[in-house]
Amino acid sequence: MPDDATTVQIPAGHLAETEVVGAAPSSTGSSTNGAPAGPVGVHMRLLHGMRHPQNWLQLMRFCIVGASGFAINLVVYRIAYKHLGIDYLAAAAGAWIIAAASNFYWNRHWTFKAGEGLVHHQALRFLVVSLLALAIDLVVLSVLVQTGGLDKLVAQVLALAVATPANFIGNKLWSFRRDVYSDGSPPQEK
């Protein structure tokens, strides 16, 4: 069964030429989810996705998990940097690893309810998305500290805020995607 949070079905006739990204065309000229074939922009997927209450609930859950990861990240960062004397960039990377492990567990089992997926595929995808978010975080942190002269803790708060949207989008649409398993097979209905 497709995940309503990532699958958008646009009834025929609502858009001239539409296609949901990732949907394979069928022999009837429409995608496998019932939408007519053709290009649809990301903005249309977002507009249609915003109409589903389960997407807002999922976003709230992601924010709660993210807030706990944020708190874990800052506590570990502060302890490592302030109390253990670890370099601020190394402290940020270590704090990120600990927070990411917590976020993976809670996002997999609570936010995206993707526990039936292949854990090693999800973990690898989550790691890729998280590493990209970490790269964004470290670049922003470095710029804010070295160029902007901000306090390192304040800079880390801002850097995490900048990296979070990319992290959510990557995890929602790729890491924990439920409409197709990592091996290409469709999910089994319960």
Q: Is the dihedral of CA 90, 101, 151, 141 positive or negative?
A: positive
pLDDT of residue 72: 96
pLDDT value of position 188: 56
Q: What is the pLDDT of residue 36?
A: 44
CB 160 within 8 A of CB 78: no
Question: What pLDDT score was predicted for residue 29?
Answer: 45
Give the pLDDT score at 116. Answer: 84
- The range of the structural domain enclosing residue 29 comes to 1-51
Is there a domain that residue 125 lies in? Answer: yes
Predicted local confidence at residue 26, as pLDDT: 43
d(Cα 31, Cα 140) in Å, to the nearest integer? 40
- All residues at 6 or more sequence positions from 110 whose CB lies less than 8 Å from its CB, including other chains: 61, 65
Instruction: Say how many domains are in the chain.
Output: 2
Residue 163 domain-assigned (yes or no): yes
Residue 187 lies in a domain: no
Q: How far is CA 64 from CA 11, 59, 68, 183, in A?
A: 33, 9, 6, 30
Q: What residues does 31 pair with on adjacent strands?
A: 25
Structure tokens at 108: 């997999």
Q: Which helix (H) or strand (E) holds 127?
A: helix 119-142
What pLDDT is stored for residue 166 in this prediction? 85
Q: What is the pLDDT of residue 164?
A: 82
pLDDT of residue 122: 93
Q: Identify whether the C-beta of residue 36 lies closer than 8 Å to the C-beta of residue 29.
A: yes
Instruction: Tell me how far apart the alpha carbons of residues 119 and 45 are, in angstroms, rounded to a whole number.
Output: 27
What does the alpha-carbon distance between residue 4 and residue 125 come to, in Å, rounded to a whole number?
Answer: 20
> Which stretches of the chain drop beneath a pLDDT of 50?
1-2, 5, 8, 10, 13-38, 180, 182, 190
Helix (H, G, I), strand (E, B) or coil at 126: helix
pLDDT, residue 48, reads 67
Instruction: With respect to residue 185, please indicate whether it lies within any of the assigned structural domains.
Output: no
Residues 43 and 77 in one domain: no
Same domain, 97 and 84: yes
Amino acid identity, position 156: Q
Whether residue 96 sits in one domain with residue 58: yes
Tell me, yes or no, whether 8 and 99 share the same domain. Answer: no
Same domain membership, residue 146 and residue 65: yes
Is 44 in the same domain as 109? no
pLDDT in the model for residue 125: 95
Tell me if 167 sits within 8 A of 126, measured CB to CB: no
Looking at the domain assignment, is residue 29 inside a domain? yes
pLDDT reported for residue 185: 56
